[in-house]
Chain A
C-alpha cells in the first residue's frame, strides 16, 4: 500500500506541475466566464433604439403605437420615402390606407434592414395595437381598458407543486433541473473521456519506455495500475475543485464590471417577471427566472451525486482504458480500434441522457441509470429533478451499489489483462488472446 501511495504521488505531481495543466485549469473557467459575459454584453448592447416614422393619414393606428426601448414611433406627416433617412429615421411605416378592418398591407421601408429584435418588436406592437383597435371599435370599449384586462390575464401564475410539498417554488423548475442535468452529465461525459484517455496514454508511455519492467521488478503490476488510476483521478478532482472555485470567484469579479444599468434591468425584471410589457428580451427574463429557481435546487445532493458518479464512472472506465493501454504498443491506430468498444457505451449513455432529460421518469431513463455502463451519465442528469420524487431512493441506492461493484469488477478484469499485456511486445493481441489472459 505504501508503494501504491508513492506511485499515486508521482502520477499526481508529475501532472499537476505541468504547464499545460496549470494553463487549462486557469484558462478554462476564465474562458467560460468571459464567454457568458460576452454573450450577455452583446445581447444587451445590440438592443439599440430604432426610430420609426409612421405616416398614417387615415388614423388606422389611432396614434397608439407604444414606444419601447427597442423601437420609438413618431407619427409624422412631413416624412416620406425621400427624406426619412435625412430626418433621422431608420424606417418609415405605412399602414394600409383603406379601412380599419384591413389588417394586411402594412409596409415598412428601410434603407438598412432593422435588427431582428426591432423587427419582432414592430410586428408585435402593430398586431397588439390593431387587436386593441379592432376590439374597441367593434365592442365600443376604451383601448386602455383592454390593455389593463390583458395585463391582468397575463399575470396568471401556475405553481407546479409536488404532492406533499407545500413550498411555493414560484414557477416550474423543470427547465432549471434539465439545464443542471445537462451540464453535469456532459461534464462527466467529457471527463470520462479526457481522464480515461490520459490513463491509457500513461500506461502506453510506461510500456513503450520499458519503465514498466523496472517498476514491476519493485511492485506488483496491480499496484502500478492502481497508482496510475488513482493518481490521475486525483488530478481530475483537483481540476474540478479549482474550476468551481475559479468560476465562482471570476463570476463575482465579473459582476462588479457589469454596468449598473444592466444589473438594474435584471432586477427590474425579477420584480415583474410575468406578462411584463416586454421591454427586454426573453433571454433576460429567462435568466431572471433561473436565478430565482436556482435556489430551489438541492445543491448538496446534486454536487454530492456528481462527485460520486464522477469518481465511480472514472474508476469504472479508467481501469478498462488502462487494460487497453497495456495491450497495445505505441501505435495509435491499434489503440483506437481497441478503445472503440469502451467509448461506445459512453456515447450511448449520452444519447440516453438527452432522452431522459426530457422524460426523467421513463423506464429507459430509470433502467439505464442503474446499469453501471450508463449510470454515471444518465443518473447525474436525473438527480437534479429531485430525490426521492423523480429518482426513488431504491433506484439511487441500487445504481450506486452496482457502480461500486462494477468498478471492482472492471478493475479485477483489467488487472488480469494489464499484468500480461504490460510486458508483452510485438503485435497487438486479438480479443481472443486477451480473453485467454483472463484465465491465467
Chain B
C-alpha cells in the first residue's frame, strides 16, 4: 500500500494554475524526489500534502485513507523552502516548543532533542539564540525540528540549500538512515546531482503539470540516446561505419559515438575488432538527470508567465 496517493490534484490561484491535475504515489520507506524549475508548482503541491492548503480538486490518500490534516499532521514533518525559526528564541526552547506543537509530551520531546543534538554535535547551542547561528547552523536546527517527532512522512523543501559539503553530507546520511528506519521522504529540489544520489523515485513537474514519473534508472533508460564512449590505445583510422556516427573525439584517444537505429553495440565492437583497433574501454553514456531536466523543461519560457484562469 502506498503511503501517499495523490489523485488529480488541482490548485488554481487568481493568476496561475499552480497545480494542474497532478497524480502520483509514494511507496513507504522510499525517498521520493519532486523536481521542477522555479515556479513549477512544487511548493504548492507540498503544501497540499502537508495540509496547509486544501486542493481545489482531487484527493489525497494517506495510508489508504482520505488525508485528514487534523489527525495525520502529527505523522508528518515539514521543512519549508524558506527556513522559519523564531530569531529571538533560545534554540533549546525553540526545538522543545515545535516538538510539543507536534503533540509530543515535554519529557519525551526533551529526550529526543538531547539525542539529536548529541548526534549532530549541537549540544553547546542550547542557550544560544537563532540569530547567533550561521545559515548552515540554523538549517541543521531546522532539520532536527522537522524530524524530531519521528514522523512517518518527512517532507523537505530544498533541504541542502545553504549547506557546505560537510554538513550537506551529514544531513544526507541522516536522510538515508531515516529512510532505512522506515520513514518515507519526499523532497523537492532543482539540484539534479543530489537527486541521482539519493532518490529512488522521481517526478518532474513543470508549469503545474507532471511531465515525468519513474525511478531514476527507468527514467535514464527512457531518455538514453544510444550514446557510447570507446577508448583506444591509439585512434583507429577507418572509424566510419553505417552502424554508428562519431559525435566527438577526445584527446585521450576516445570517441563519443551514437549507435544508429537498427544496430547494436556489438555491431560497433565487431567493426573495430575487424579493424584490429586496440580497444581499452567501451561504456554506455546515460543522460544525467540534469540533461533530461533541461531537455524537458527547455522550450518552456524560463520565467513562468501569468495567465488568466477562468475556473
Contact = CB atoms under 8 A, between A and B. Distances in A.
Interface of A: 3, 6-7, 10, 14, 206, 209-220, 423, 433, 436
A213 B97 contact: no
Interface string B91-106: 0000001101111000
Contacts, number: 59
Interface stretch (B80-88, B219-227, B278-286): B80-88
A428 to B, nearest CB: 14
Given A214-B145, A220-B70, 10 more contacts: A14-B86, A209-B85, A210-B80, A210-B82, A213-B52, A213-B80, A214-B80, A214-B84, A218-B102, A433-B14
B101 A218 contact: yes
Interface of B: 14, 47, 50-53, 70, 73-74, 76, 78-80, 82-89, 97-98, 100-103, 142, 145
Nearest to B80: A213
Contacts of B84: 206, 209-215
B85 A219 contact: no
Interface centre among A7, A14, A214, A219 (most CB of B within 10 A): A214
Contacts of B80: 210, 213-214, 217
A218 B71 CA distance: 10
Given A14-B89, A218-B98, A433-B14, A213 B51 contact: no
A216 B76 CA distance: 12
Contacts of B102: 218
Contacts of B70: 220
B192 to A, nearest CB: 25
Contact of B86 (A211, A220, A423): A211
Contacts of B14: 433, 436
Contacts of A220: 70
Given A217-B51, A217-B76, A423-B47, A211 B101 contact: no
A222 to B, nearest CB: 12
Contacts of B103: 3
Given A211-B84, A211-B85, A213-B82, A6 B52 contact: no
Contacts of B51: 217
9 contacts: A3-B101, A10-B97, A14-B86, A14-B88, A14-B89, A213-B78, A213-B80, A218-B73, A423-B53
A410 B100 CA distance: 29
